[in-house]
Amino acid sequence: MVKLSVIVPFYNVQQYAPDTLRSLRANARDDFEFILVDDCSKDETPDILARAERELPGAALVRHEKNGGLATARNTGLDASRGEYVTFLDGDDWIAPGYYEQLLAAIEGLGCDFVRTDHVQCTGRARSVHRVPHGRRGVVMDPREAILPADRSTSVDYAYAWAGIYHRRLADAGLLHFTDGLRTAEDRPWIWRLHREAKSFAAVGTLGVFYRRGVASSLTQIGDVRQLDFIKAFDQVIADTSRDKDAELLLPKAVRTYCAIISHHLGSIERFEPAVARKLKTMSSAALKRMPQDVLDDALDSMDLQRATRLRRLRRRPVSAGVDAA
């Protein structure tokens, strides 16, 4: 029986894929499988992965005929996986030797639906530890209790899918798949759904994931139209949370976070192509008008003056008919 499935999408990461694959080899075990998903790479990544399929114990290679984005690639890996537990890794990141054994031991010892972990962010030669914004470590809790408060960073703001491990029963319940086609912020509706619908989780301090920042091909570095998928992602968060039995309690957190992300992108609008920058303003204005207006009023009142003023000005901006999150 496969104990752990590790799902690793790759897209045009020939410079980094060898490090990623070496780190998987240092974690190989007879009952681990590594689902390598080539999302229609155009560089040398397919050749690197073909070699890994032959040489990496437990590796299985799946190829996309066309590029689908990270969310779709992760779904492909999920559909091919067989493990009792599932985790994720991105094709330009890496893990410490023996890390997956530690992660597996943590979730089996706690007996919960999912476990969230800290990680190391790597920007060039700089290293910094980023921790799950959840104070109680190694304690099993109801995930819904970790969504609030609205005005502080909580576990739903730490959306990295690869910073954790998940029991197969979550996949069977439809909670681990991502929204197909989302090209950025794909983790946001996913982490909110996990916290609303899973039964139990815990945060642990296990360090072993190394997250590479500043990669030129990463969408976090590219100011093209794909970045605007964050609007689709947060529209889904708002819509799903609005249907929740505790919507009145949870919506202020969802709306405030959405506003903060819009403000963040507006604050660095110079990195976008001019046409994309204009579309960002138009789509963000429409998004503000779609939010529950009473909840939005309270969210803006709770924010600092600079962000609130920026968002209020955008809220007043006229929006042409037919503008949506597309």
Q: Each residue of 252-300: pLDDT tens digit?
A: 999 999 999 999 999 999 989 999 999 999 999 999 999 999 999 999 9
User: Using the 8-state DSSP alphabet, how is residue 291 labeled?
Assistant: S
Query: Which of 52, 218, 13, 194 has the alpha carbon at shortest distance from 116?
Result: 194
Residue 232 phi, psi (nearest 5): -60, -40
Indicate whether 321 pLDDT > 60: no
CATH of domain 4-217: 3.90.550.10
pLDDT for residue 221: 47
Query: Which of 185, 14, 5, 183 has the alpha carbon at shortest distance from 91?
Result: 14
Cβ–Cβ under 8 Å, residues 194 and 114: yes
> Dihedral of the CA atoms 244, 246, 250, 255 (nearest 10)?
50
How many CB atoms within 10 Å of residue 137?
Answer: 13
Q: How confident is the model at residue 324 (pLDDT cuts 50, 70, 90)?
A: low
Q: Token pair 């990461």 is at which residue?
A: 13
CA–CA gap between residue 314 and residue 308 (Å, rounded)? 10
The token pair at 195 is 């916290």
Q: What angle do CA 280, 283, 284 make, to 5 degrees?
A: 80
Query: Which of 91, 93, 95 has the alpha carbon at shortest distance from 46?
Result: 91
pLDDT for residue 82: 97
Cβ–Cβ under 8 Å, residues 87 and 100: yes
Residue 66 phi, psi (nearest 5): -140, 155
Cβ–Cβ under 8 Å, residues 75 and 69: no
- DSSP line for 7-38: EEEESS-TTTHHHHHHHHHTT--TTEEEEEEE
Cis (ω within 30 of 0) for the bond into 57?
no
Cis (ω within 30 of 0) for the bond into 133?
no
Please give the mean pLDDT across all residues of the chain.
Answer: 94
Question: What is the identity of the amino acid at 111?
Answer: G
Report pLDDT digits (tens) over 160-176. Answer: 999 999 999 999 999 99
Question: What is the identity of the amino acid at 43?
Answer: D
Q: What pTM was estimated for this model as a whole?
A: 0.93
Strands 94-95 and 164-167, bridge-based pairing: unpaired
Least confident segment among 6-10, 124-128, 217-221, 268-272:
217-221
Domain positions in the chain: 4-217, 223-315
Cβ–Cβ under 8 Å, residues 95 and 101: no
CA–CA gap between residue 297 and residue 256 (Å, rounded)? 10
Q: What distances in angstroms separate CA 279 from CA 69, 209, 235, 268, 282, one per listed residue?
A: 21, 35, 16, 14, 5
